[in-house]
Chain A
Amino acid sequence: MKKSIFYALALMAAVVSCDKLETENEEEKKNEPAVGVVDTVFYSGTLVAEASSGTATTPDTRISVNYTDKADSVSISIYQAKLAQRMPAMDIIIPNVTLTRNGGVDAITSASSVPLAMGSEFPGYTVTEFAGQIEGDSIRFSLKFGKTPTSFSGKRIQVAE
């Protein structure tokens, strides 16, 4: 009996410590400095958001693909993204987008990602069905911001430091 209790306690301790560890990891993760951006490539193009209130098309929308020291992951920043006519434009960061290099065509995908806006996670616009590619100086992708299908296509631009 005592042995069973001991093993149970040990297991509980292990589970708890695992949870604690996860929490700590999560906490560590939250408190970890952001993964370093080693390169940023800017593009300018047209953003189309098919909101329920109508389609918002914004030419000359600027985005950036932010390469990190993790070879298979990038984040994508959309500057002054207008996702509906009645909405103000916002700077949005889509983190943890998977990058798959395939010769001269890089695939960018993400099954689900909570974007960052106003300095915090913005779960109301959780990104799903993110799929696109980068080929030469061109980029195109489509996704859903919440329930809003959105697409972007554009060309690489040079931005002064």
Chain B
Amino acid sequence: MRTFAAEMKTVLLIPLFFTVPAEPEMPVELPSVTVTALKEQVETDRIASAVSAFSYETIKRNGTYREQSLSQMVPGLHIPEYGASLTSTIYLRGLGSRMENPVMGLYIDGIPVLDKNAYDFDWEGVRNVTMLRGPQGTLYGRNSMGGVLSLRTLSPSEDAAPEVSVEYGTAGTMRAGAQFVTGRNALSLTYRHKDGYFRNEYKDELCDPFDGLSMRWKWELHSGERLIVANMLQASLSREGGFAYGLWTDSVQYPVSYNDEGSYRRLSVIEGVKLDYYGDRIKTDAIASFQMLSDDMNMDQDYTSRPVFTLEQEQMSGAGTVELNFRRTDSEARWQPLTGLFAFYKGNRMKAPVIFKRDGIQTLMLDNANRNIPDEIGELAISESVMPVYSDFMIKSWNVALFHESVLDLDRWLLAAGLRFDYEGAVMDYVSKTELHYRMEPVMTDYKLVKVRYAGTEDHSHFEVLPKLSVLFRATDALSLYATLSKGYRAGGFNTQIFSDILQNKTMNATMNDMGVYMDSPYMSVSAGNTEYDPETAWNAELGMRMAADDWRVEASAYYTDVRNQQLTVFPPGKSTGRMMTNAGRSRSYGVEAQLMWNPDRLRTHVTWAWCDARFTDYNDGNNDYSGNRIPYVPEHTLHAGAGYSFPVGGRTLDVDCALRGEGPFSWNEQGTRREDFRLMLESRVGLVMDGWEIYLRGENLTGTGGSSFYFKSMGNEFFAPVKPRTIMTGIIFKL
């Protein structure tokens, strides 16, 4: 096991980053737009999708340095903060799931982040955040079924003063950051530490500490009048604790108390190159990236103080992406076509041993086995007190896509139509094995060894056609109305987490057969052939409006989304442990979203609200029919409402901001028997801005609102993770 210090040394300090420059020194005129890293060919205000955009000042003022902070600030977005950076559980407009592929695509300066495990990183140096809501499959392809989050980071072209910041607060939380531009380079650095909020009573230690280091370096070159070359490197290294799950039973919430290790270690590296070439008629941009992720998770899988079972998941993945986009150099032309080609290849080696300990062997294996063995036969016994079930995987996946979108500008009318052909395939090689010593008491006097090995290959491929039609009507200079019909999808995959259950069943069968005993119902729920799950697709129809004047802005949208082959996390048939993804049937989601901002002079106000009704329309797991029930983990309402004012104080400025953050109610399970009410949390910030520096005090959840951020079941036990408690931080920012 490498030490944290040793790993820090391996993090490359070659930050080179690229972005579309805010104001390139080029004779070719770029559209005067809110600068984003989106692919769209029109200004953000003229995109026929629901858009949320946040400037650097807003990000800084809200303490938004991770994706979770965007929850509620973007209508309908819910990214619960629980567990480790591994779990970017994203729900948007009623779409989402706990595992596997996300419903929201993430782009950093035009580079797609392929692995959801790499989504959660520090946003030091992020200058602009734009979120497109609704399926964006035509331009962004896979995993943008709910929307796309695009981050634009500090560019060497920006006239940004160097900045150093330090923040310290509750739970020993400390964050130090720096960002600066020098020559053709832009550099961002962050170190973040947290002692932890939640105590594991069994171990008498905090269970959720965090230490992380992030670096981002961008390099940019304008070569002549037509070529812009940019290079980027982003690396982050983190070590953190485990999940703060506490047992809930008989309506009593117990504190966190488990005996086995909970930890997560991750190294993520993204290296990208971009070329922008402005031809006389065609502008070409080419983006290529290499992405590496190495992580190791250890989890007490039963979350009790008994020695039941643990899970480790160690991954090493490498991926390459390439994208070519062709569009007109003349950005003022009425017809703006965009044609693109995208491809990626990814290899992921994963080891996921499950270790059964004494109580787990007894409870999960022997008790189940002996329940079905008549007394006349005897009683099965296993000599091991620790029994590992090893599962190794090598998953190779690839994607090729061809897309086109045409935008026709007819002054007041903006018509857009697009189509994407998207092909994705994957191959999984698996080896799962274990061994144990058994005997049937009293017939057998000695323990006998049985070894089980399960190996093979599974593959799948899918082809998706992703169309889009939209129309935007500029009724007045201030008012625009739009309508959109679009399709998106979330990639399928393989249920690797179920292999320990498969091997448990095979081991029990092998043990019984080794004795010459044949159960009427062999221990077998699924096989490797059943571990594949299909892509989930969504059609979305949406109407929206956008009004803006000098110091105010209103956006509202109403949508209806129909989901097919919905991916859900369920237990394997007949089991109370393990997780598998299944395509559950169909669901639908409809809702209304609104954003209001009014910023006259020194006053800042905003309200962001969403209502979502997301339900299964067809879901029967073989035991229960959940059709008509709410989709779990999706909040019915999200709210972020705030106000702030900048007071002039003797040549300085006192910024005072308050906001209410609301979410819920939630249903925690398909049955709807576990629910959480709507909750509000107060956050606030007071900052004194002086010449060249700022000192501030801010707090989150100042109301001390309780509740749960997440829920899960294991072995028939129910667990909740609590929301983050009241936190207060003070910080200082220097602009050099």
Contacts and interface: CB of A to CB of B under 8 A. Distances in A.
B444 A120 contact: yes
Contacts of B448: 119
Interface string A79-118: 0100010111111100000000000000000000000011
A88 B444 contact: no
A118 B517 CA distance: 7
B374 interface: yes
A119 B518 CA distance: 14
A7 interface: no
Nearest to B519: A88
A87 B378 CA distance: 11
A87 B518 contact: no
Contacts of A124: 376
Contacts of A80: 518
Chain B interface extent, by class: 10 to 19
Interface string A117-129: 1111110100000
Interface in A11-51: none
A92 B443 CA distance: 13
B445 interface: yes
B520 interface: yes
Contacts of A84: 374
Provide the main secondary structure of the chain B interface. Answer: loop
Interface in B429-450: 440, 443-445, 448
**In this complex, which of B373, B443, B512 has the most chain A Cβ atoms within 10 angstroms of its Cβ?**
B443
A77 B513 CA distance: 16
Nearest to B444: A120
A122 B518 CA distance: 16
Contacts of B622: none
Interface string B368-379: 000011101110
Contact of A87 (B377, B445, B512, B516): B377
Contacts of B377: 87-88, 90, 118
A86 B516 contact: no
A138 to B, nearest CB: 26
Contacts of B372: 88
Contacts of A118: 377-378, 440, 443-444, 515-517
B440 A88 contact: no
A90 B513 CA distance: 9
B374 A88 contact: yes
Contacts of B512: 88
Contacts of B378: 118
Choose among A90, A120, A122, A124 the residue with the greatest number of B CB atoms under 10 Å from its CB.
Answer: A120
A84 B444 CA distance: 22
A87 B515 contact: no
B117 to A, nearest CB: 44
A155 to B, nearest CB: 23
Contacts of A86: 374
Interface string B396-422: 000000000000000000000000000
Given A80-B518, A118-B516, A119-B515, A87 B443 contact: no
A147 B445 CA distance: 25
B661 to A, nearest CB: 58
A122 B519 contact: no
Contact of A119 (B373, B376, B444, B519): B444
Contacts of A87: 374, 376-377
A124 to B, nearest CB: 6
A129 B120 CA distance: 75
A122 B443 CA distance: 6
B374 A89 contact: no
Nearest to B445: A120
A89 B376 contact: no
Given A119-B448, A124-B376, A90 B516 contact: yes
Nearest to A123: B443
A86 B519 CA distance: 10
Contacts of B374: 84, 86-88
B443 A88 contact: no
Nearest to B513: A91
Contacts of A121: 443
A90 B517 contact: yes
A157 B377 CA distance: 30
A119 B377 CA distance: 12
Given A117-B516, A118-B516, A88 B373 contact: yes
Contacts of B443: 117-118, 120-122
The listed residue with most A CB atoms (<10 A of its CB), out of B373, B374, B518, is: B518
B72 to A, nearest CB: 56
A91 B516 contact: yes
A80 B519 CA distance: 10
Nearest to A87: B374
Interface centre among A84, A88, A92, A121 (most CB of B within 10 A): A88
B376 A88 contact: no
Contact of B520 (A88, A92, A117, A119): A88
27 contacts: A80-B518, A86-B374, A87-B374, A87-B376, A87-B377, A88-B373, A88-B374, A88-B512, A88-B518, A88-B520, A89-B517, A90-B377, A90-B516, A90-B518, A92-B516, A117-B443, A117-B515, A117-B516, A117-B517, A118-B444, A118-B516, A119-B444, A119-B515, A119-B516, A120-B443, A122-B443, A124-B376
User: What are the 9 closest A-B residue pairs judged by CB atoms, nearest first?
Assistant: A91-B516, A118-B515, A89-B518, A120-B443, A88-B519, A118-B440, A118-B443, A80-B518, A90-B517
Interface of B: 372-374, 376-378, 440, 443-445, 448, 512, 515-520
Given A88-B517, A92-B516, 12 more contacts: A87-B376, A88-B373, A88-B518, A90-B515, A91-B516, A91-B517, A117-B515, A117-B516, A118-B443, A118-B444, A119-B448, A120-B444
